[in-house]
Chains A and B, each alone.
Chain A
Amino acid sequence: NAGVTQTPKFRVLKTGQSMTLLCAQDMNHEYMYWYRQDPGMGLRLIHYSVGEGTTAKGEVPDGYNVSRLKKQNFLLGLESAAPSQTSVYFCASSSRTGNLYGYTFGSGTRLTVV
């Protein structure tokens, strides 16, 4: 099925470890986003990309890095994980105008940092 695919779905990290979350979309969308969702805080934007090779900071970018080497992929990296990064991470994509279908979200990655 067309859509946004996130891997892995679950991960447990020790403090200080690094990891990369992968997001892939097959809808030829220009824009891609990484959000985190925490109880009581709602969804907050970490980083986003408006096209291949371009990225920008969102509301809560500290401790994360991103890359978009290919239009269909958007990677979120944690260089040195901290317990405060325990969260559910969602990737999303949209077309440049987003006027037909809005945003499409992946199923999420549940990350626990111990």
Chain B
Amino acid sequence: KQEVTQIPAALSVPEGENLVLNCSFTDSAIYNLQWFRQDPGKGLTSLLLIQSSQREQTSGRLNASLDKSSGRSTLYIAASQPGDSATYLCAVRENSGYSTLTFGKGTMLLVSP
């Protein structure tokens, strides 16, 4: 059974810092990996989607990398801002007959002014 782990569970940084969130998964046979953002009391917003054949994806100040063979992904946030404060979730879609996602429990990020 696929398991997804996110480290750290919580992170607090001052504004302007660059930071890295980590995601690991136990079964490397994935179809793709998706990073989401969730604000308190809100739904999930997709940030980046990386296909299994890709190494990284970038969107603005966000960069996500994927090392499928080692079962790891990182989300890099450059020049963090208070508005980046949220919970970040990593999810993998496996190579199976149906496309469900397995989620990590998330990293709660707080960026202080």
Contact = CB atoms under 8 A, between A and B. Distances in A.
Interface in A62-114: 90, 92, 94, 96-99, 101-108, 110
A50 B43 contact: no
Contacts of A92: 44, 101
Q: Which of A48, A94, A103 has the most B CB atoms < 10 Å from its CB? A: A103
Nearest to B47: A102
Interface size on B, as a range, is: 20 to 34
A104 B49 CA distance: 12
Interface in B45-59: 45-46, 49, 51
B61 interface: no
Contacts, number: 58
Contacts of B93: 98, 102
Contacts of A98: 31-32, 93, 99
Contact of A106 (B43, B100, B103, B104): B43
Interface in B20-79: 31-32, 34, 36, 41-46, 49, 51
Contact of B49 (A31, A96, A101): A101
A56 interface: yes
